[in-house]
Structure 1
Amino acid sequence: MIPRRTLLTSCMFLFAAVTAVTPDESYGAGGVGPLVLVVSKSFPADGISFGDLKRAYMGGRIMVNGKQLIPVTYPKGSPERIAFDEAVLGMGPEQVGLYWIDRKIRGQSGPPKDVPNAATVVWIVGKVEGAIGFVRASAAGDDVKILRVDGKLPSDPGYRL
């Protein structure tokens, strides 16, 4: 059996090799709507707590109904990444960078894998069991499941993304 991290990395390289990404597409430019969390359609849960989401994206090992979450994110400086990091982690780009440097110095786990665009996020989470990512609602499509956060969807009052 192939380790999940190896499979995720292999999938990312394969997808990058077969798709062309223009600079305007690289950060999901043109996307509209709120950010939503996406997982594979077979993921064994319909939602996640805000606390577990934050811990997963801060390097914690989070299990949801027996599945370990494997978070993916966008590159530093992308509008979606900045919005997500501020909403979920409560940090701006510089603080996030310092956080991951500190973890590296301490020998702790590294940051989530960066992927270039929303199409790649959707493709990876649709193929890699346990992978979780975020995209603009308009980019989610039918191949993935949108997770509730603390029981709420983007259309619900109090949605935190």
Structure 2
Amino acid sequence: MSDRRTFLASCVFVFAAVTTVTPDESYGAGDVGPLAIVVSKSFPADGISLGDLKRAYMGSRVMASGKQLVPVTYPRGAPERIAFDEAVLGMSPEQAGLYWIDRKIRGQSGPPKDVPNAATVVLIVSRVDGAIGFVRASTARDDVKFLRVDGKLPGDPGYRL
């Protein structure tokens, strides 16, 4: 089965589980502070370069420690997505939207899958092999690990997210 089919099959399972998440469990809403890049605890790498992170979130195929990265993001307009797109992609929401329209017109790959909240990001990256996402560092749970970005974690001097 292709990586995309495996990812989609895993997402169906995860989204079915998410339907039981209550609003009180959708942690992360309204939080402030740095964004953390999160992957499953079993993910073989401990870090990623900002360049690889940008390429993964701009539709390129990126491998990390033999795993293809499968990025997930938030819906347009979500504060976390706006902050991420500006810090990592160097784009405003309008620029990002135009970028994905241009790729679609050219027949290239589409944007990362949108998920509704931080709870869903954590659920997906903890269960889908190769999935990568971002949440406010203050909202991450024990079932995911932070990836260092250019050798730095949230709270380290010079951390860019």
Corresponding letter in the other structure for 2:94: E
Q: Once superposed, which parts of structure 1, at least 4 consecutive aligned residues long, lie more than 4 Å away?
A: none
Aligned 8 A contact 2:11 2:128 in 1 = no
Aligned 8 A contact 1:70 1:131 in 2 = yes
Q: Where does residue 34 of structure 1 map in the other structure?
A: 34
Give the percent of matched residue pairs that are identical in Structure 1 and Structure 2: 75
Q: Where does residue 9 of structure 1 map in the other structure?
A: 8
- Which consecutive residues of structure 2, in runs of 5 or more, have no partner in the other structure? none
- Mapping of 1:4-83 within 5 angstroms? 4-17=3-16, 18-20=19-21, 22=23, 25=26, 28-83=28-83
- Which consecutive residues of structure 1, in runs of 5 or more, have no partner in the other structure? none
Separation in 1, partners of 2:160, 2:98: 24
- Mapping of 1:70-109 within 5 angstroms? 70-109=70-109
Q: Deviations over 1:82-104 (max 9, x none)?
A: 00000000001111000000001
When the two structures are superposed, what TM-score results if normalisation uses the length of structure 1? 0.90
Per-residue deviation, 1:143: 0.3
Name the CA shift for 1:32/1:19 in 2 (closer, same or farther; >3 Å): farther
Per-residue deviation, 1:6: 3.1
Per-residue deviation, 1:141: 1.0
Q: Where does residue 152 of structure 1 map in the other structure?
A: 152
Corresponding letter in the other structure for 1:142: D
**Aligned-CA RMSD value:** 2.0
Name the CA shift for 1:21/1:98 in 2 (closer, same or farther; >3 Å): farther
Name the CA shift for 1:98/1:21 in 2 (closer, same or farther; >3 Å): farther
Q: Deviations over 1:103-154 (max 9, x none)?
A: 0111111000000000100010000110000000111111001000000011
Separation in 1, partners of 2:87, 2:20: 30
| Residues paired across the two proteins, number | 159
When the two structures are superposed, what TM-score results if normalisation uses the length of structure 2? 0.90
Separation in 2, partners of 1:4, 1:39: 17
Q: Does the residue aligned with 1:82 lie in a helix, a strand or coil?
A: helix
Separation in 2, partners of 1:155, 1:135: 14
Per-residue deviation, 1:70: 0.2
Q: Does the residue aligned with 2:148 lie in a helix, a strand or coil?
A: strand
